[in-house]
Amino acid sequence: MKRSRDSAARRIAAHWDRRTLEAQPERTRWWQSRAVRRHVNRLVSGQEYEGTGEGLVMVLRERLRGRVLRRGVSIGCGIGNKEMRFVRLGLVERFDLFELSSARIEQGRALAGRLGIGQRVTFHRDDGFSVVAPESVDLVHWNNSLHHMLDVRRAVEWSRRVLAPGGVFFLDDFVGPTRFQWSDRAIAVATGVRAMLPRRFLEDPASPPDKRRHLPVEVKRPNASRLARRDPSEAADSAAILPAVRDLFPEAEIQRTGGLVYHVALATILHNFDEEDAEDLALLDLLLELDTACLRDPELESPYATALAERKA
């Protein structure tokens, strides 16, 4: 069993090393869109903050009322820029950051140095589960990393175990179906959204400008086995996240933030919405309202959610 986990860890690290060094396209995913970021932050906090995940950070800041959390931990931190925001805002004194990708750790250390907080964030090339002592931290931070855990319940159990009394569990993550195996109803909604868009919105941003291809209208589930081979961590156990949080942190305040439209239907083609154009922005805002309306349908999954919980003594 340990050999299998070690093999998966090596494949995951290699995948994210490659991803880190590859050139990434601009504004093809929702977190690259200012309009979508503002929409999500409004759902979480009531305010249209523009930073990715900033709404929940501001909610936590308000809850702390000046209290500074002594030590935070984060697993699957990437380059650690999200965690560094807590340090720079004075919410956390120091962070232990766990990451498997050497390339991302290198970039993260360089970023911390540029920000002048290199002494307050420590990177570890480790998964973190066996090195953090029980009741030794004041913040467990999961931001789009819990859905990369191979055993979600184990990770949430670990989170509760390492938190000191009064410590905070912080979650802002993909909580949709494991390996993106969307329900038939979700597929129908996402396909319907794409079908009603003018053809120009389906242009493939990766195609040459003089030979624009168009992406299909129909939304399909990815091949789960192929996805797992490419990255064993991608949405490996994501459907288990909210059940585990509700069970192990019954005091958690959970906010579903949607994504059936902005994450599934508009994947890649968000690039074609000019957010400086009034008509494009009005259409995008309308689609985001539709996304919110989907949250009222109990048969439709919400790809994303946030959660905050304080561990009681």
What is the share, in percent, of the chain residues with pLDDT greater than 70?
Answer: 92
Contacts of 85 by beta carbon, 8 Å cutoff, 6+ apart: 51, 57
**H or E stretch including 305?**
strand 304-310
State how far the Cα of 76 lies from the Cα of 79, in Å rounded to an integer: 9
Q: Round to whole Å and give the CA distance between 70 and 67.
A: 9
Does the pLDDT of residue 16 top 50, yes or no?
A: no
For residue 213, the surrounding DSSP H or E stretch is none
- What's residue 18's pLDDT? 61
Question: Side by side, which strands form the sheet with 92-98?
Answer: 121-124, 92-98, 69-75, 137-143, 163-174, 304-310, 253-258
Closest by CA to 60, choosing from 96, 97, 85, is 85
- In this predicted model, what pLDDT tens digit does every residue of 181-216 receive, in sequence order? 999 999 999 999 999 999 999 999 988 888 889 999
Mean pLDDT confidence for 248-263: 98
Q: What is the pLDDT of residue 5?
A: 56
> CATH fold of 2-310, please?
Rossmann fold (3.40.50)
Reported as a single tens digit per residue, the pLDDT across 53-110 is 999 999 999 999 999 999 999 999 999 999 999 999 999 999 999 999 999 999 999 9
- Determine the Cα–Cα distance for residues 183 and 280; give it in Å rounded to an integer: 29
pLDDT digits (tens, 9 = 90+) for 115-167: 999 999 999 999 999 999 999 999 999 999 999 999 999 999 999 999 999 99
Looking at residues 268-295, what average pLDDT do you find? Answer: 97
**What mean pLDDT, rounded, does the chain reach?**
93
Flag whether pLDDT at 7 surpasses 70: no
User: CB-based contacts of 142: which residues, under 8 Å, 6+ apart?
Assistant: 74, 75, 155, 159, 170, 171, 172, 173
